[in-house]
């Protein structure tokens, strides 16, 4: 399709075009002129975005099924969104990651912040897992895959696409091999001195959460010779890093038996399997049970899923974060450490910190906030898009 044949979408007169010109990557459905023509555009269509005076603003991907009606792809009117275009974006992303990491285990593409709106790519050695969480990327996933192989040299590309983001785009869950073969068993991932086991097909998201890597590392500095409780542990993110740093023992709690099996396998591969204890069950119930058992730990970490995935869920989510803090604080030994995490972009740092401190206070504990952590540098923040800075980790000394 030539540029002259691309459809166009126009902002309403009251919508300020400078927001887009200054870098904001989204246009909402109530900000564009919607008529029969624009509503009939297929999800994922590439279009020209104009201001109300018909001046060019950007090349965008359109989805009439989403509240995010347009996602900005390129501000060059002559850009062609094809395999070469993907390759240029991927090359820039790869340069950063190869600067940051010696080994090829990282988030290669972090959506808007890497110029690929809605696209997540995590790399596990010679295998990449792609999440096209926007309709345009779903449509062009074959071109994305071909560019990914050419640029990065990966041999296997897996599409593991599911979750809330795709549902908001009107997309269904889908998992398939785009190139090469799927690993027959979990992939070992070296990180923070431990070996993690990532299930790239049946695991959560892409199989491993690289975003917490620096927070795992900071927790590990507190753990030498200490006992550790890792709640919502998934595949043992915090507990394995702490054991690698010399923790005397760790208890990993999660609702998924499969995740705990991967945590134990990671501990075994790392050479400290006997030091890891696992407990399957609801996290809130487990915290209450551990208190009833009189258990105490030198380091307690709670890394729950997003309790506030959107603004409507914010108040309920903040109450849940407060409750986690209230139940976890009594399990921390005197002068021990409590680590509370949130991946809810709707709950900003101040709101999350306030809820956490309130919960600690309700547990009759006093706290020092010694460190605030965020996602690693392979999860860059797009300054114009607050939603890209979702992860917070608060380290308290009680």
Residues 247-298 pLDDT 10s: 999 999 999 999 999 999 999 999 999 999 999 999 999 999 999 999 999 9
pLDDT of res. 1? 46
Q: Are residues 163 and 192 in the same domain?
A: no
The pLDDT mean for the chain works out to: 94
- In 166-259, DSSP assigns E strands to 174-179, 187-191, 194-198, 227-231, 249-254
Confidence at residue 3, expressed as pLDDT on a 0 to 100 scale:
63
Q: Do 242 and 362 share a domain, yes or no?
A: yes
Residues 225, 325: one domain?
Answer: yes
Q: If you average pLDDT over residues 371-384, what whole number do you get?
A: 95
pLDDT attached to residue 175: 86
Residues 193 and 169 in one domain: no
Same domain, 216 and 287: yes
pLDDT of 4: 64
Confidence of residue 168 (pLDDT cuts 50, 70, 90): confident
> Region 224-228: what's the mean pLDDT?
98
Indicate whether 318 pLDDT > 50: yes
Q: pLDDT-based confidence at 39, cuts 50/70/90?
A: confident
Mean pLDDT of all residues in 180-191:
95
Would you call 70 a catalytic residue per the annotation?
A: no
The percent of the chain in helix, strand and coil, each rounded to the nearest 5, is: 35, 30, 35
Confidence at 166, pLDDT banded by 50, 70, 90: confident
Which residue in 70, 302, 341, 343 is the catalytic one?
343
Q: Are residues 70 and 115 in the same domain?
A: no
pLDDT (mean) for 148-168: 90
Check residue 133 and give its pLDDT. Answer: 93
Q: Which of 74, 93, 108 is the last residue of a domain?
A: 74
Cβ neighbors of 350 (< 8 A, separation 6 or more) are none
For position 291, which CATH number holds? Answer: 3.40.50.150
Regarding beta strands 156-161 and 127-132, do their DSSP bridges make them parallel or antiparallel, or are they unpaired?
parallel
Answer whether residue 84 shows pLDDT above 50. Answer: yes
Residues 90 and 203 in one domain: no
Q: Based on the fold, state whether residues 51 and 19 are members of the same structural domain.
A: yes
Integer angstrom CA distances of residue 309 from 121, 163, 343 = 21, 12, 8
Domain of residue 238, residue span: 188-397
Burial grade of 54 (CB within 10 A; 0-12, 13-18, 19 or more): exposed
**The CATH number of the domain where 136 resides is what?**
3.30.750.80
pLDDT for residue 317 is more than 80? yes
Kindly state the percentage of the chain with pLDDT values over 90. 87
- The neighbouring-strand residues paired with 299 are 228, 337
**Best-predicted range by mean pLDDT among 1-5, 360-364, 386-390?**
360-364
Q: What is the pTM of this model?
A: 0.94
- Rounded Cα distance between 354 and 315, Å, is 12
- The 10 Å Cβ neighbour count of residue 364 is 9
Same domain, 291 and 316: yes
Q: Cα(17)–Cα(318) distance, rounded to whole angstroms?
A: 34
pLDDT at 310 over 70: yes
- What is the arithmetic mean of pLDDT over 377-383? 95
Among the candidates 57, 74, 91, a domain finishes at: 74
Which of 16, 49, 74 delimits the end of a domain? 74
Q: Three-class SS of residue 167?
A: helix
Q: What is the pLDDT of residue 334?
A: 98
* pLDDT over 80 at 387, yes or no: no
Range list of H helices, the chain:
18-21, 36-39, 83-100, 135-139, 141-152, 164-168, 213-221, 237-244, 257-270, 283-292, 314-328, 349-362
Q: How many residues does the chain have?
A: 398
27: region left, alpha or beta (phi > 0 left; psi from -120 to 50 alpha): beta
Smallest Cα–Cα separation from 203: which of 269, 152, 256? 256
Instruction: Compute the average pLDDT of residues 78-91.
Output: 97
Q: Are residues 342 and 216 in the same domain?
A: yes
| φ and ψ at residue 71, rounded to 5 degrees | -120, 125
- Distance (Å) of CA 237 to CA 82, 194, 233: 37, 9, 6
Residues 157 and 198 in one domain: no
Q: Averaged over 95-117, what is the pLDDT? A: 97
Whether pLDDT at 25 is above 70 = yes
Question: Are 259 and 136 in a shared domain?
Answer: no
Answer whether residue 304 shows pLDDT above 60: yes
pLDDT at position 104 over 60:
yes
CATH number of the domain that 56 lies in? 2.30.130.10
CA distance 197 to 189: 6
First to last CA, the chain: 62
Number of domains in the chain: 3
């Amino acid at each position: 399709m030539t540029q002259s044949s691309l459809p166009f979408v126009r902002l309403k007169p009251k919508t300020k075009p400078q927001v887009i010109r200054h870098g904001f990557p989204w246009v909402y459905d109530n900000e564009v002129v919607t008529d029969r023509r624009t509503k009939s555009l297929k999800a994922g269509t590439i279009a020209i975005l104009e201001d109300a005076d018909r001046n060019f603003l950007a090349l965008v991907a359109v989805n009439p099924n989403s509240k995010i009606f347009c996602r900005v792809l390129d501000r060059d009117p002559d850009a062609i969104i094809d395999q070469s275009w993907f390759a240029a974006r991927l090359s820039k992303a790869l340069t950063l990651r190869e600067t940051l990491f010696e080994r090829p285990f990282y988030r290669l593409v972090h959506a808007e912040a890497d110029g690929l709106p809605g696209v997540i790519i995590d790399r596990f050695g010679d295998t990449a897992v792609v999440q096209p969480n926007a309709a345009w990327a779903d449509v062009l996933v074959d071109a994305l895959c071909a560019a990914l192989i050419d640029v990065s040299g990966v041999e296997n590309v897996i599409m593991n696409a599911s979750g809330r983001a795709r549902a908001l785009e009107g997309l269904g869950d889908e998992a398939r091999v785009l190139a090469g073969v799927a690993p027959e068993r979990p992939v070992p991932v070296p990180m923070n001195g431990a070996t993690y086991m990532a299930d790239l097909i049946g695991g959560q998201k892409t199989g491993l959460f690289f975003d917490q890597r620096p927070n795992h590392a900071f927790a590990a500095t507190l753990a030498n010779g200490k006992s550790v409780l890792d709640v919502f542990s998934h595949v043992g993110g915090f507990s394995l890093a702490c054991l690698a740093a010399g923790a005397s023992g760790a208890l990993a709690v999660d609702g998924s038996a499969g995740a705990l099996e991967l945590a134990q396998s990671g501990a075994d591969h790392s050479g400290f399997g006997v030091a890891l204890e696992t407990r399957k069950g609801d996290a809130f119930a487990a915290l209450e049970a551990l208190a009833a058992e009189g258990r105490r730990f030198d380091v307690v970490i709670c890394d729950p899923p997003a309790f506030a995935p959107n603004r409507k869920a914010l108040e309920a989510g903040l109450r849940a974060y407060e409750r986690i803090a209230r139940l976890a604080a009594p399990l921390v030994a005197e002068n021990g450490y409590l680590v509370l995490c949130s991946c809810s972009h709707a709950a900003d740092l101040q709101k999350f910190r306030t809820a956490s401190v309130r919960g600690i206070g309700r547990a009759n504990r006093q706290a020092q906030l010694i460190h605030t952590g965020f996602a690693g540098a392979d999860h860059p923040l797009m300054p114009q898009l607050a939603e890209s800075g979702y992860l917070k980790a608060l380290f308290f000394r009680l």
